[in-house]
């Protein structure tokens, strides 16, 4: 990986009371637990935290980016449900001697982030959800179809690294899968901050892809069995950022969370897709800063 974001720190495996967790830390200040989405890992946690908060990392922020169970260096084991993963995060904080943390979660990081806030409210100072799954999610067929294909391709030596190299040389072609509007795609990739972050995320997916597949497959299976509606009040301050044009996690996930907990603050990104954290990064960061200001007030 050539992006400097991923060279801010090296991952370590922390042995907790509930099992090992691979985690990377970057920066100093307010502790932030950054939870990645599907086909992710600690590396994407850093990238996504930089997109949401600024950086890498933002001034006055200590980012803790774990690989969720089944991703990279964190074994899946019995930590399959959002609740079990939430308890693992709390065990990680215990091991690191940390008190309350801000939690940022993107996409498939949403269910375990919400479970963490509900099960360990004293450990969660606030929650920022971006394009996040909040209840039952039937993953689109086009997305599900990629998993067995990637698994088969991972068995061919050198194939996925070659595809990653090609994607790095043709970033707009790769990005158009996530940003349908060609002009918006070019504008995002040309942005001096959003562009490098999005390219780094795209390249990371094919780096060690086989080690990202068990967690992704588990997410797909577990999310399909979640309740159709969120459980109720989250119990901590929540900011939800979601695009109305999200084709991966529909905007209804944010609406249902607000219906279950009217105290949830919503940033509705008109027409925004699943990667609205890149296409609308400046507006999102401004809203996040205002949210954090209210937490500190």
In a domain, residue 175? The reply is: no
| pLDDT for res 5 | 43
Q: CB within 8 A of 208, min separation 6: which ones?
A: 41, 72
What CATH number is associated with residue 229? Answer: 3.40.50.1820
201 in a structural domain = no
**Helices 194-205 & 182-190, crossing angle to 10 degrees?**
100
Would you say residue 60 lies in a domain?
A: yes
- 141's enclosing H/E stretch is helix 141-144
Give the pLDDT confidence score for residue 9 in this predicted structure: 57
CB 264 within 8 A of CB 238: yes
Is the separation of the CB atoms in 39 and 75 below 8 Å? no
Q: Is 39 exposed, middle or buried (0-12, 13-18, 19+ CB in 10 A)?
A: buried
CA gap 69, 74 in Å, rounded: 5
Task: Identify the residue whose tokens are 């099992």.
Answer: 19
Write b or e for each residue in 188-225: b if 16 or more Cβ atoms lie within 10 A of its Cβ, otherwise e.
Answer: bbebeebbbbbbbbbbbbbbbbebbbbbbbbbbebbee
From first to last of the 297 residues of the chain, give the pLDDT tens digit: 333 444 455 899 999 999 999 999 999 999 999 999 999 999 999 999 999 999 777 789 999 999 999 999 999 998 999 999 999 999 999 999 999 999 999 999 999 999 999 999 999 999 999 999 999 998 777 777 777 777 776 777 777 676 666 667 777 888 888 899 999 999 999 999 999 999 999 888 888 888 999 999 999 999 999 999 998 899 999 999 999 999 999 999 999 999 999 999 999 999 999 999 999 999 999 999 999 999 987
Query: Does residue 38 sit within a domain?
Result: yes
C-alpha–C-alpha distance, residues 296 and 125, integer Å = 10
> Helices 146-154 and 213-224 sit at what angle, rounded to 10 degrees?
160
Q: How far apart are CA 46 and CA 6, in angstroms?
A: 7
Pick from 125, 116, 109, 141: which is nearest to 222 by CA? 109
User: Could you list the residue range(s) of the whole structural domain that residue 118 is in?
Assistant: 4-140+215-296
Q: What is the pLDDT of residue 165?
A: 64
Is 202 inside a domain boundary? Answer: no
pLDDT of res. 48: 94
The reply to whether 41 falls in a domain is yes
154 is a domain residue = no
3-class DSSP state of 279: helix
Signed CA dihedral, 163, 197, 23, 107: sign only? negative
- What interhelical angle do 159-169 and 146-154 show, nearest 10? 120
Rounded Cα–Cα distance for residues 176 and 64 (Å): 30
Q: Does residue 174 lie in a domain region?
A: no
pLDDT at 158: 73
Angle at Cα 252 formed by Cα 185 and Cα 258, nearest 5°?
115
Predicted local confidence at residue 234, as pLDDT: 96
**Spatial separation of the C-alpha atoms in residues 251 and 273, rounded to whole Å:** 9
Q: What domain count does the chain have?
A: 1
């Amino acid at each position: 990986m050539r992006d400097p974001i991923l060279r801010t720190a090296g991952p370590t495996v922390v042995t907790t009371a509930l099992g090992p967790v691979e985690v990377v830390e970057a920066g100093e200040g307010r502790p932030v637990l950054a939870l990645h989405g599907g086909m992710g890992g600690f590396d994407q946690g850093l990238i996504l935290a930089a997109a949401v908060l600024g950086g890498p990392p933002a001034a006055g922020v200590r980012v803790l980016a774990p690989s969720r169970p089944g991703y990279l260096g964190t074994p899946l084991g019995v930590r399959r449900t959002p609740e079990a993963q939430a308890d693992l995060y709390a065990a990680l904080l215990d091991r690191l001697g940390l008190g309350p943390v801000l939690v940022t979660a993107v996409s498939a990081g949403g269910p375990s982030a919400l479970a963490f806030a509900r099960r360990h409210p004293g450990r969660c100072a606030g929650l920022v959800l971006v394009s996040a799954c909040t209840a039952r999610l039937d993953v689109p067929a086009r997305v599900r179809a990629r998993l067995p294909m990637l698994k088969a391709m991972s068995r061919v030596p050198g194939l996925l690294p070659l595809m990653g190299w090609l994607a790095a040389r043709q970033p707009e072609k790769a990005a158009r899968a996530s940003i349908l509007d060609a002009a918006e795609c070019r504008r995002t990739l040309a942005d001096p901050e959003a562009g490098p972050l999005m390219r780094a995320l795209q390249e990371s997916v094919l780096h060690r892809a086989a080690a990202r597949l068990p967690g992704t497959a588990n997410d797909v299976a577990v999310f399909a069995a979640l309740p159709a509606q969120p459980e109720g009040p989250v119990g901590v301050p929540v900011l939800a950022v979601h695009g109305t044009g999200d084709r991966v996690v529909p905007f209804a996930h944010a609406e249902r969370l607000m219906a279950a907990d009217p105290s949830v603050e919503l940033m509705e990104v008109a027409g925004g897709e699943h990667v609205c954290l890149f296409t609308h990064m400046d507006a999102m960061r401004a809203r996040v800063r205002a949210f954090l200001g209210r937490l500190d007030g």
